[in-house]
Amino acid sequence: MRTQVAIVGGGPAGLLLSHLLHLQGIDSVVLERRSREELEAEIRAGVLEQGTADLLNEIGVGERMMEEGARHRGINLQFGGRRHRIDFHALVGRGIMLYGQHEVVKDLIAARLAAGGKIIFEAEGVGVRDLKSEGPRVLFRKDGEEEELSCDFVAGCDGFHGVCRPCIPESACATYERRYPFGWFGILVKAPRSSEELIYCLNERGFALISTRSPEIQRMYFQCDPEDDVANWPDERIWEEMHARLANDEGWDLIEGEIIQKGIVQMRSFVIEPMQYGRLFLAGDAAHIVPPTGAKGMNLAVGDVRVLSRGLAEYYSSGRTDLLDAYTRTCLGRVWKAQRFSWWMTSMLHRFHQEDEFRYRLQLAELDYVTSSRAASASLAENYTGLPVE
C-alpha cells in the first residue's frame, strides 16, 4: 500500500487531519485499532471552542452539530453558596458549543467515507519504521495478514498510550509532566438539564461540575481520590455528595435521574518537546495532555492538525518545508498557554488539602476577583472560548 500521509489513530485528530488533507488534494490513510462501532460508541466530553465549531462548519461537517449541539454564551462559577455568570459574548464576542467528541467522530467518519477516504479499522500490531528517511513505513496486521503502508509522512494521532510517541528517542526529546493529587468521579445521567450552562463549583468538600450531553443526557463530575474505587459509590451516596457540593442560597436544586455510567478520570498535565521527529509529527493527546478543567483537550488536537495540514499543503504545492519545520514551535506556543489556563482553572477550583484553610481562602478570593473584575472575567472568557491557532 502507498499513500502520501499515513495517519495512526482514528480519533478526532486523525480523522480531521485526513479530511483537511483531502480538501487540499492530499492522499492519506487512517489506521485505527478499534472497530467503527467501538469508536463511535465511546462517549467522550465535547466542549468546542468557537474556532473549532467554525472550522467544522467551514469544511462541511458541522450540520448535525448545529442541529443537535448546545450553544452556550457563558459559564457559571459557584462558591460560597453563590453563583456568578461569566458572559462570554458580552466580554469577548464568542461562545462555545457542547457537542460530544464521539459525535464529532461520527460526523468525520461519515464525511471521509462519503468522499472515498481510506480508514482501516481494527488495524492490529501497528509499528512505525524509517522515520528519518524520505520513505517511512507503517506495519500492521489486518484480518490476520501482515500489511505494509509506505508514505511520505506519518502523523501520530494515536493518543497518550499510542505507539508513535515512543518512536522518538529519549535523547531527542524532553517531557514535562504534572500529576494532580485528585481525580474526577464522572457520571452520565438520564435526566433533563439542571442548568442551561455549565456550573463550575468550589465547595469546602471539593470541586463539582454540571455539564450536558443532550436534553436527555447530562454529564456531572465531582472531585475524588484518584485511587478510589467506583464500587465505593452507590447511586444514593453520589447524589448525596452532589447535592452537598452544589447547594446554594438561590433555591436552585439538582435534578436527579438514572445513572447509566460511572468512572474516575485521572488528572495530569503532559507535554513532549519537540512534537516532531524526522518524518513523524505528533498531534493531540499523543503530544500533550491537559486536565479537563479548562476544556482544552480536543481543541488543542484540532489546532495541531490545522497547523500540520497547512504545512503539508505547502510542502506538496511548493516543496518548501518552512511550515513543517516550524510545526513544534507553532503548536507549542498555544499548547503551553492552554496548559497555563487549565492549571489555573484546576488550582482555583479544587481542594488540594482539606486541612489547608489558608489556600482555600485564597481560592475564594481569586474567584471573587474573577467574578467581580471585568478584566479578569474577560481573560477567562478569552482563554475558555479559544486563543488563536497561530
Strand partners, 273: 174
| Residue 296 annotated among the catalytic residues of the structure | yes
Q: Is residue 240 within 8 Å of 292, Cβ to Cβ?
A: no
Q: Distance between CA 250 and CA 124 in Å, rounded?
A: 54
Of the residues 180, 292, 315, 327, which is catalytic?
292
Q: Distance between CA 247 and CA 251 in Å, rounded?
A: 8
DSSP per-residue codes, 325-349: HTHHHHHHHHHHHHHHHHHHHHHHH
Of the residues 22, 288, 296, 350, which is catalytic?
296
C-alpha distance across the termini of the chain, in Å: 34
| Residue 166 annotated among the catalytic residues of the structure | no
Q: Distance between CA 361 and CA 375 in Å, rounded?
A: 22
| Residue 337 annotated among the catalytic residues of the structure | no
Residue 274, preceding peptide bond in cis (omega within 30° of 0)? yes
Q: Distance between CA 7 and CA 32 in Å, rounded?
A: 9
| Residue 200 annotated among the catalytic residues of the structure | yes
> Any idea which residue has 463549583 for its cell?
201
Q: Distance between CA 288 and CA 282 in Å, rounded?
A: 9
Of the residues 12, 102, 106, 200, which is catalytic?
200
Set of cell numbers at residue 300: 488543542
| Residue 99 annotated among the catalytic residues of the structure | no
Instruction: Tell me how crowded residue 256 is: count the other CB atoms within 10 A of its CB.
Output: 15
Of the residues 72, 102, 106, 350, which is catalytic?
72
Q: Is residue 271 within 8 Å of 296, Cβ to Cβ?
A: no
Q: Distance between CA 289 and CA 287 in Å, rounded?
A: 7
Active site residues: 72, 200, 292, 296, 384
